[in-house]
Amino acid sequence: MNAIANAHPPESPADLLALQRAAFRRDGAPSLADRRSDLSRLRATLIANRSKIETAINADFGHRSRHETSIMELAGLIGGIDYLHSRLPRMMRPEKRHVAIHMRAGSARVEYQPLGVVGVMAPWNYPVVLALMPLVTAIAAGNRVMLKPSEFTPKINAVLEEILGTVFPIDQVAVVNGDASVGATFSALPFDHLIFTGSTPDSRVRHHYVRAAVKVRQYPDGRLAIFHGPRRIGRYDAQGREIGEPIAPMLPPCSTPSRRGLETPRPTPPSARRPALTASRHGAGAAPDRAPTPISAEPGLP
């Protein structure tokens, strides 16, 4: 099946997704030995292609020091692979749970299972570590991965596609290259999970952030406000351009425990209560008991 899939790769991202999902349903969750083997083979292949990666990144950026690539891209990635490799047994171990007293004859546990097919959208500024670290994390969790790297780094994208193609079959890991329109199509696919890193300076921001499970509010004039829990993380106008000024009227974000549109009231800040306290102490319109002493009149100061 893997040889056939590699010999005749699907032509569209949707076909790739269907191929990987069918393979996941056919094979099920991989074993600990399979996951460790995948991580080890990828680690060895990355180290063997270190100079090729440094050359490709240098060509894409016009100039980037190979030392920066080694430290910022490869060292962190190799360290992450080693971390996952050593801790996989503990991560996969079932966790016991307490049961009600009338069911003490039984036992309960949580067994963590892979989701299925994970999409990864990576930016251009660190095109190796920001693409492969989410990928190896998803592989360690037992998933299959479709990677969409940035269109602004074509040379390193070709190297990554070659490296991943030698390590994984296409029904386990696939690379989807293309411009912004391909990225829009990719983000709209029904992945079991989508990992997105980067900015969203266009109208596709809604698709990316909805897939990332955050709250998106749209105002009547077309503007968008994006929240992650109680924190607002983005503001965009009707054309998809990011804006820095606060959106008025500002709606409070949805509460963290619930995603059903419930809103949390904002407490009154202490600064808003301070004038009332001063007036109640000195009387309405009265001056304080003692005026503040100028700095120059303090003892010991010139």
CB 146 within 8 A of CB 119: yes
Segment 11-45, tens digit of pLDDT: 688 999 999 999 999 998 999 999 999 999 999 99
State percent of the chain over pLDDT 70. 62
Whole-number Å distance between alpha carbons of 4 and 235: 46
**Assigned token pair, 98:** 């307490």
The 8 Å CB, 24+ separation contacts for 253-256 are 253/215, 253/227, 253/229, 254/215, 254/227, 255/230, 256/229, 256/230
pLDDT band at 168 (very low <50, low <70, confident <90, very high): very high
**Residue 143 near residue 192, CB atoms below 8 Å:** yes
pLDDT of residue 112: 87
Please give the average per-residue pLDDT across 117-136, as a whole number.
92
From 37, 124, 129, 125, select the one nearest 75 (Cα to Cα).
129
> What's the pLDDT score for residue 158?
93
- Per-residue pLDDT at 269 exceeds 90: no
Q: Lowest-confidence range among 4-13, 108-117, 246-255?
A: 246-255
Which pLDDT score, from 0 to 100, does residue 235 have?
57
All structural domains of the chain with their residue ranges? 28-94+114-198, 199-266
The two three-digit tokens of residue 64, written as one number: 């980037």
CA 131 to each of CA 43, 64, 158, 201: distance values in angstroms, whole numbers, following the listed order? 14, 18, 13, 20
Task: Give me the architecture of the 28-94+114-198 domain, per CATH.
Answer: 3-Layer(aba) Sandwich (3.40)
Q: What is the mean pLDDT of residues 167-183?
A: 90
Q: Closest Cα to residue 171, out of 14, 39, 18?
A: 18
Tokens representing 18? 């269907």
Q: Return the pLDDT at 103.
A: 83
The chain-wide mean pLDDT, for the chain, equals 75
Q: Once rounded to an integer, what is the mean pLDDT over residues 253-273?
A: 46
Q: Could you tell me which residues are beta bridge partners of residue 196?
A: 121
pLDDT at 199: 62
Give pTM, 2 decimals: 0.64
User: Does 210 score more than 70 pLDDT?
Assistant: no
Distance CA 184, CA 179 (A): 9
